[in-house]
Amino acid sequence: MLQEYLQTKISTSLDLLKTEEAIFFIKDTFGKRLSRTLNLVNVSAPIAVLDGTGINDDLNGVEKPISFSIKGIKDQNAVIVQSLAKWKRVRLKEFNFEAGRGLLTDMRAVRPDEVLSPIHSIYVDQWDWEKHILPGQRNLKFLKRTVESIYEELKATERDLFEKYPEFPPVLPEKIYFIHAEELLKEFPAFTPKQREAEIARIFGAVFIIGIGANLSNGEPHDGRAPDYDDWSTINEDGYIGLNGDIILWNPVIERGFELSSMGIRVNEESMLRQLKIRGCSDRKKLLFHRMLLNNELPLSIGGGIGQSRVCMFLLKKSHIGEVQSSIWPESTRGQSENGLNLL
Protein backbone atom coordinates (compact mmCIF):
# COMPACT_ATOMS: atom_id res chain seq x y z
CA MET A 1 0.00 0.00 0.00
CA LEU A 2 2.85 2.38 0.78
CA GLN A 3 4.45 1.84 -2.63
CA GLU A 4 1.10 2.36 -4.35
CA TYR A 5 0.72 5.66 -2.55
CA LEU A 6 4.23 6.77 -3.49
CA GLN A 7 3.45 6.02 -7.12
CA THR A 8 0.05 7.66 -7.28
CA LYS A 9 0.75 10.71 -5.02
CA ILE A 10 -2.94 11.00 -4.17
CA SER A 11 -3.91 14.63 -3.53
CA THR A 12 -6.48 15.56 -0.90
CA SER A 13 -9.38 17.89 -1.51
CA LEU A 14 -10.88 18.46 1.95
CA ASP A 15 -11.86 22.06 2.53
CA LEU A 16 -10.91 23.78 5.79
CA LEU A 17 -14.08 22.83 7.66
CA LYS A 18 -13.90 19.17 6.61
CA THR A 19 -10.23 19.17 7.54
CA GLU A 20 -11.18 20.35 11.03
CA GLU A 21 -13.78 17.57 11.25
CA ALA A 22 -11.20 14.98 10.20
CA ILE A 23 -8.70 16.33 12.74
CA PHE A 24 -11.25 15.92 15.53
CA PHE A 25 -12.06 12.40 14.34
CA ILE A 26 -8.39 11.40 14.44
CA LYS A 27 -7.75 12.93 17.86
CA ASP A 28 -10.87 11.41 19.36
CA THR A 29 -10.30 7.97 17.81
CA PHE A 30 -6.61 7.61 18.59
CA GLY A 31 -6.96 9.08 22.09
CA LYS A 32 -9.61 6.51 23.01
CA ARG A 33 -7.61 3.68 21.48
CA LEU A 34 -4.46 4.73 23.33
CA SER A 35 -6.33 4.85 26.65
CA ARG A 36 -7.69 1.34 26.18
CA THR A 37 -4.50 -0.35 25.03
CA LEU A 38 -2.26 1.17 27.71
CA ASN A 39 -4.89 1.21 30.50
CA LEU A 40 -4.83 4.98 30.95
CA VAL A 41 -7.23 7.42 32.62
CA ASN A 42 -7.80 10.87 31.10
CA VAL A 43 -6.80 13.72 33.41
CA SER A 44 -6.54 17.50 33.08
CA ALA A 45 -3.17 19.17 32.58
CA PRO A 46 -1.70 22.59 33.38
CA ILE A 47 -0.59 25.17 30.85
CA ALA A 48 1.90 26.60 33.37
CA VAL A 49 3.77 25.48 36.49
CA LEU A 50 5.73 27.34 39.16
CA ASP A 51 9.35 28.02 38.31
CA GLY A 52 12.17 26.62 40.41
CA THR A 53 10.54 23.27 41.21
CA GLY A 54 12.27 21.18 38.53
CA ILE A 55 8.89 20.02 37.24
CA ASN A 56 9.01 21.88 33.92
CA ASP A 57 11.24 20.17 31.38
CA ASP A 58 14.50 21.51 30.02
CA LEU A 59 14.23 19.43 26.81
CA ASN A 60 17.68 19.79 25.17
CA GLY A 61 18.76 22.33 27.77
CA VAL A 62 18.78 25.34 25.45
CA GLU A 63 15.07 26.12 25.08
CA LYS A 64 13.85 28.94 27.32
CA PRO A 65 10.31 28.66 28.72
CA ILE A 66 8.03 31.67 28.81
CA SER A 67 8.10 33.15 32.32
CA PHE A 68 5.58 35.48 33.94
CA SER A 69 4.57 36.76 37.36
CA ILE A 70 1.21 36.06 38.99
CA LYS A 71 -0.74 38.65 40.91
CA GLY A 72 -1.11 37.38 44.45
CA ILE A 73 1.97 35.11 44.39
CA LYS A 74 5.08 37.00 45.42
CA ASP A 75 8.73 36.13 44.80
CA GLN A 76 8.01 33.26 42.40
CA ASN A 77 7.29 33.22 38.68
CA ALA A 78 5.31 30.75 36.65
CA VAL A 79 6.52 29.22 33.38
CA ILE A 80 4.59 27.89 30.40
CA VAL A 81 5.14 24.15 30.19
CA GLN A 82 7.50 22.78 27.53
CA SER A 83 6.47 19.20 28.21
CA LEU A 84 4.87 17.32 31.09
CA ALA A 85 7.23 14.39 31.52
CA LYS A 86 8.07 15.10 35.17
CA TRP A 87 4.69 16.59 36.07
CA LYS A 88 3.00 13.34 34.98
CA ARG A 89 5.15 11.25 37.26
CA VAL A 90 4.23 13.43 40.23
CA ARG A 91 0.57 13.00 39.30
CA LEU A 92 0.95 9.22 39.27
CA LYS A 93 1.93 9.51 42.92
CA GLU A 94 -0.81 12.00 43.80
CA PHE A 95 -3.53 9.87 42.16
CA ASN A 96 -2.06 6.72 43.73
CA PHE A 97 -2.11 4.74 40.46
CA GLU A 98 -1.35 1.07 40.96
CA ALA A 99 1.19 -0.68 38.72
CA GLY A 100 -0.23 -1.33 35.27
CA ARG A 101 -2.37 1.82 35.16
CA GLY A 102 -1.57 5.35 34.15
CA LEU A 103 -2.77 8.70 32.94
CA LEU A 104 -3.35 10.38 29.58
CA THR A 105 -3.68 14.11 29.06
CA ASP A 106 -3.91 16.66 26.27
CA MET A 107 -0.71 18.65 26.62
CA ARG A 108 -0.57 22.16 25.22
CA ALA A 109 2.76 23.97 25.24
CA VAL A 110 4.52 26.97 23.71
CA ARG A 111 8.15 26.73 22.64
CA PRO A 112 9.16 30.18 21.36
CA ASP A 113 12.73 29.07 20.55
CA GLU A 114 11.51 26.48 18.04
CA VAL A 115 12.84 26.99 14.51
CA LEU A 116 9.73 27.25 12.35
CA SER A 117 9.46 24.77 9.49
CA PRO A 118 6.82 22.64 7.72
CA ILE A 119 6.99 20.22 10.67
CA HIS A 120 7.83 22.59 13.56
CA SER A 121 5.63 25.20 15.19
CA ILE A 122 5.88 27.23 18.39
CA TYR A 123 2.62 25.55 19.42
CA VAL A 124 2.91 21.97 20.70
CA ASP A 125 -0.02 19.61 21.21
CA GLN A 126 0.56 16.07 22.41
CA TRP A 127 -1.08 13.04 23.87
CA ASP A 128 1.07 12.95 26.99
CA TRP A 129 0.90 9.67 28.90
CA GLU A 130 2.58 8.08 31.91
CA LYS A 131 2.15 4.60 33.38
CA HIS A 132 3.19 3.07 36.71
CA ILE A 133 5.40 0.00 36.17
CA LEU A 134 7.08 -2.64 38.31
CA PRO A 135 10.87 -2.90 38.82
CA GLY A 136 10.96 -6.02 36.65
CA GLN A 137 9.50 -4.08 33.72
CA ARG A 138 12.40 -1.65 33.46
CA ASN A 139 13.81 -3.48 30.45
CA LEU A 140 13.97 -3.40 26.66
CA LYS A 141 11.39 -6.17 26.21
CA PHE A 142 8.72 -4.17 28.02
CA LEU A 143 9.66 -0.99 26.16
CA LYS A 144 9.33 -2.72 22.78
CA ARG A 145 6.00 -4.30 23.70
CA THR A 146 4.65 -0.87 24.65
CA VAL A 147 5.88 0.66 21.40
CA GLU A 148 4.20 -2.14 19.42
CA SER A 149 0.91 -1.53 21.27
CA ILE A 150 1.00 2.17 20.40
CA TYR A 151 1.86 1.42 16.79
CA GLU A 152 -1.03 -1.05 16.46
CA GLU A 153 -3.47 1.63 17.61
CA LEU A 154 -1.98 4.10 15.15
CA LYS A 155 -2.57 1.62 12.33
CA ALA A 156 -6.11 0.97 13.56
CA THR A 157 -6.79 4.72 13.57
CA GLU A 158 -5.45 4.93 10.03
CA ARG A 159 -7.91 2.19 8.99
CA ASP A 160 -10.78 3.95 10.78
CA LEU A 161 -9.96 7.18 8.96
CA PHE A 162 -9.93 5.36 5.61
CA GLU A 163 -13.40 3.95 6.26
CA LYS A 164 -14.75 7.44 6.94
CA TYR A 165 -12.62 9.28 4.36
CA PRO A 166 -11.67 6.94 1.46
CA GLU A 167 -9.36 9.60 0.00
CA PHE A 168 -6.82 8.72 2.71
CA PRO A 169 -5.64 5.16 2.00
CA PRO A 170 -3.49 3.40 4.64
CA VAL A 171 0.28 3.56 4.07
CA LEU A 172 1.77 2.33 7.35
CA PRO A 173 3.71 -0.97 7.17
CA GLU A 174 2.51 -4.04 9.07
CA LYS A 175 5.27 -3.93 11.71
CA ILE A 176 7.48 -1.31 13.29
CA TYR A 177 11.22 -1.97 13.06
CA PHE A 178 13.53 -1.63 16.08
CA ILE A 179 17.14 -0.47 15.88
CA HIS A 180 19.54 1.03 18.39
CA ALA A 181 21.06 4.43 17.66
CA GLU A 182 24.53 2.84 17.81
CA GLU A 183 23.55 0.21 15.23
CA LEU A 184 22.16 2.98 13.04
CA LEU A 185 25.43 4.89 13.30
CA LYS A 186 27.40 1.81 12.24
CA GLU A 187 25.02 1.27 9.33
CA PHE A 188 25.32 4.84 8.03
CA PRO A 189 28.54 6.29 9.52
CA ALA A 190 28.84 9.14 7.01
CA PHE A 191 25.29 10.43 7.64
CA THR A 192 24.09 13.00 10.15
CA PRO A 193 21.59 11.74 12.76
CA LYS A 194 18.65 13.18 10.82
CA GLN A 195 19.92 11.64 7.61
CA ARG A 196 20.24 8.28 9.38
CA GLU A 197 16.69 8.61 10.66
CA ALA A 198 15.38 9.43 7.20
CA GLU A 199 17.20 6.55 5.52
CA ILE A 200 16.12 3.87 7.99
CA ALA A 201 12.56 5.19 7.91
CA ARG A 202 12.57 5.17 4.10
CA ILE A 203 13.69 1.52 4.10
CA PHE A 204 11.26 0.18 6.73
CA GLY A 205 8.43 2.74 6.76
CA ALA A 206 8.19 2.81 10.58
CA VAL A 207 11.05 2.49 13.05
CA PHE A 208 11.77 2.89 16.74
CA ILE A 209 15.28 4.18 17.38
CA ILE A 210 16.49 3.06 20.82
CA GLY A 211 18.95 4.87 23.06
CA ILE A 212 18.71 8.61 22.47
CA GLY A 213 20.62 10.90 24.79
CA ALA A 214 23.90 9.13 25.59
CA ASN A 215 27.04 9.60 23.52
CA LEU A 216 27.53 6.99 20.80
CA SER A 217 30.85 5.54 19.65
CA ASN A 218 31.55 8.72 17.64
CA GLY A 219 31.42 10.75 20.86
CA GLU A 220 28.09 12.40 20.03
CA PRO A 221 24.50 11.59 21.03
CA HIS A 222 21.97 10.74 18.34
CA ASP A 223 19.89 13.59 19.75
CA GLY A 224 19.63 15.52 23.00
CA ARG A 225 17.58 14.40 25.99
CA ALA A 226 17.13 15.95 29.41
CA PRO A 227 18.94 14.02 32.15
CA ASP A 228 16.02 13.69 34.55
CA TYR A 229 13.15 11.88 32.86
CA ASP A 230 14.08 9.26 30.20
CA ASP A 231 16.65 6.62 31.16
CA TRP A 232 19.19 6.85 28.35
CA SER A 233 22.22 5.58 30.28
CA THR A 234 21.30 2.08 31.52
CA ILE A 235 22.77 -0.88 29.62
CA ASN A 236 19.92 -2.89 28.10
CA GLU A 237 19.58 -6.60 27.27
CA ASP A 238 21.03 -6.11 23.78
CA GLY A 239 24.25 -4.74 25.23
CA TYR A 240 23.59 -1.18 24.10
CA ILE A 241 22.84 1.86 26.23
CA GLY A 242 19.35 3.22 26.77
CA LEU A 243 15.75 2.36 27.64
CA ASN A 244 14.13 5.09 25.57
CA GLY A 245 13.69 6.12 21.97
CA ASP A 246 11.71 7.79 19.17
CA ILE A 247 9.04 6.53 16.79
CA ILE A 248 10.01 7.67 13.29
CA LEU A 249 7.81 7.20 10.20
CA TRP A 250 8.63 7.68 6.57
CA ASN A 251 6.40 10.49 5.36
CA PRO A 252 5.74 9.97 1.64
CA VAL A 253 4.20 13.43 1.18
CA ILE A 254 7.25 15.41 2.27
CA GLU A 255 9.64 12.50 1.56
CA ARG A 256 11.52 12.58 4.84
CA GLY A 257 11.77 10.93 8.23
CA PHE A 258 8.97 12.09 10.49
CA GLU A 259 9.25 11.90 14.30
CA LEU A 260 5.92 11.03 15.85
CA SER A 261 6.78 10.25 19.45
CA SER A 262 9.52 10.45 22.05
CA MET A 263 9.11 8.00 24.92
CA GLY A 264 10.87 5.72 27.31
CA ILE A 265 11.26 4.07 30.65
CA ARG A 266 11.88 6.83 33.15
CA VAL A 267 14.91 7.28 35.35
CA ASN A 268 15.22 5.61 38.73
CA GLU A 269 17.43 7.01 41.47
CA GLU A 270 20.61 5.42 40.12
CA SER A 271 20.19 6.44 36.49
CA MET A 272 19.10 9.99 37.32
CA LEU A 273 22.16 10.60 39.50
CA ARG A 274 24.36 9.18 36.75
CA GLN A 275 22.77 11.32 34.05
CA LEU A 276 22.84 14.49 36.12
CA LYS A 277 26.55 13.91 36.63
CA ILE A 278 27.14 13.25 32.92
CA ARG A 279 25.42 16.54 32.04
CA GLY A 280 27.15 18.48 34.79
CA CYS A 281 23.96 19.50 36.56
CA SER A 282 24.05 17.54 39.81
CA ASP A 283 22.89 20.70 41.57
CA ARG A 284 19.35 19.86 40.38
CA LYS A 285 19.21 17.29 43.18
CA LYS A 286 18.03 20.16 45.40
CA LEU A 287 14.87 20.76 43.34
CA LEU A 288 11.46 19.47 44.44
CA PHE A 289 11.00 16.83 41.74
CA HIS A 290 14.50 15.46 42.14
CA ARG A 291 14.23 15.30 45.92
CA MET A 292 10.98 13.36 45.59
CA LEU A 293 12.61 10.84 43.27
CA LEU A 294 15.71 10.43 45.42
CA ASN A 295 13.49 9.91 48.47
CA ASN A 296 11.64 7.06 46.67
CA GLU A 297 8.40 9.05 46.72
CA LEU A 298 7.68 8.66 43.00
CA PRO A 299 6.57 5.44 41.26
CA LEU A 300 8.67 3.79 38.57
CA SER A 301 7.13 4.62 35.23
CA ILE A 302 7.18 4.57 31.46
CA GLY A 303 5.81 7.44 29.46
CA GLY A 304 6.03 9.72 26.48
CA GLY A 305 4.43 12.22 24.21
CA ILE A 306 2.78 11.61 20.84
CA GLY A 307 2.35 14.65 18.63
CA GLN A 308 -1.31 15.25 17.88
CA SER A 309 -0.69 17.60 14.97
CA ARG A 310 2.06 15.29 13.71
CA VAL A 311 -0.36 12.33 13.65
CA CYS A 312 -3.01 14.42 11.89
CA MET A 313 -0.50 15.79 9.39
CA PHE A 314 0.66 12.27 8.53
CA LEU A 315 -2.76 10.61 8.30
CA LEU A 316 -4.34 13.50 6.36
CA LYS A 317 -1.40 13.61 3.91
CA LYS A 318 -0.61 17.27 4.59
CA SER A 319 2.66 18.93 3.61
CA HIS A 320 2.73 21.51 6.42
CA ILE A 321 1.86 21.26 10.11
CA GLY A 322 0.06 24.60 9.84
CA GLU A 323 -2.60 22.78 7.81
CA VAL A 324 -3.67 20.82 10.89
CA GLN A 325 -3.16 23.33 13.72
CA SER A 326 -3.80 27.01 14.30
CA SER A 327 -0.49 28.71 15.09
CA ILE A 328 1.63 31.74 14.23
CA TRP A 329 3.54 31.86 10.95
CA PRO A 330 5.56 34.51 9.10
CA GLU A 331 3.98 36.23 6.12
CA SER A 332 6.29 34.31 3.79
CA THR A 333 4.58 31.10 4.89
CA ARG A 334 1.06 32.55 4.91
CA GLY A 335 1.58 33.77 1.37
CA GLN A 336 1.86 30.26 -0.02
CA SER A 337 -1.88 29.65 -0.38
CA GLU A 338 -1.52 29.89 -4.16
CA ASN A 339 0.81 26.89 -3.93
CA GLY A 340 -1.88 24.77 -2.27
CA LEU A 341 -0.94 25.48 1.34
CA ASN A 342 -4.10 25.96 3.37
CA LEU A 343 -3.13 27.09 6.87
CA LEU A 344 -5.76 26.85 9.58
114 carries an active-site annotation: no
Catalytic-role residue among 130, 230, 231, 259 = 259
Q: Is residue 267 part of a domain?
A: yes
Q: What is the mean pLDDT of residues 76-98?
A: 86
Q: Is residue 288 part of a domain?
A: yes
282 carries an active-site annotation: no
Q: Is residue 298 part of a domain?
A: yes
pLDDT in tens, 15-54: 778 888 899 999 999 999 999 999 999 999 887 777 766 6
CATH number at residue 271: 3.30.930.10
Q: Is residue 76 part of a domain?
A: yes
Q: How far apart are CA 198 and CA 77, in angstroms?
A: 40
| pLDDT reported for residue 48 | 77
Q: Is residue 59 part of a domain?
A: yes
Q: Is the pLDDT of residue 61 over 60?
A: no
Higher pLDDT, 96 or 18: 96
Q: Is residue 178 part of a domain?
A: no
Catalytic-role residue among 128, 230, 246, 323 = 246
The kind and range of the H/E element at 249 are strand 244-251
| pLDDT reported for residue 7 | 41
Catalytic-role residue among 57, 128, 130, 158 = 57
246 carries an active-site annotation: yes
Catalytic-role residue among 35, 82, 126, 261 = 126
Measured torsion, CA atoms of residues 336, 337, 343, 344, in degrees rounded to the nearest 10: 150
233 carries an active-site annotation: no
**CB neighbours of 67 closer than 8 A, spacing ≥ 6?**
51, 77, 78, 79
Q: List the domain range (segments joined by +) for residue 305.
A: 12-171+261-339
Q: Is residue 344 part of a domain?
A: no
Q: Is residue 213 part of a domain?
A: no
Catalytic-role residue among 33, 89, 91, 111 = 111
pLDDT in tens, 6-17: 343 344 456 778
Q: Is the pLDDT of residue 269 over 70?
A: yes
Number of domains in the chain: 1
259 carries an active-site annotation: yes
125 carries an active-site annotation: no
pTM of the model: 0.87
Q: What is the mean pLDDT of residues 252-269?
A: 94
pLDDT in tens, 204-239: 999 999 999 999 999 999 999 999 999 999 999 999
**CA end-to-end distance (rounded Å), the chain:** 29
The whole-chain average pLDDT of the chain stands at: 87
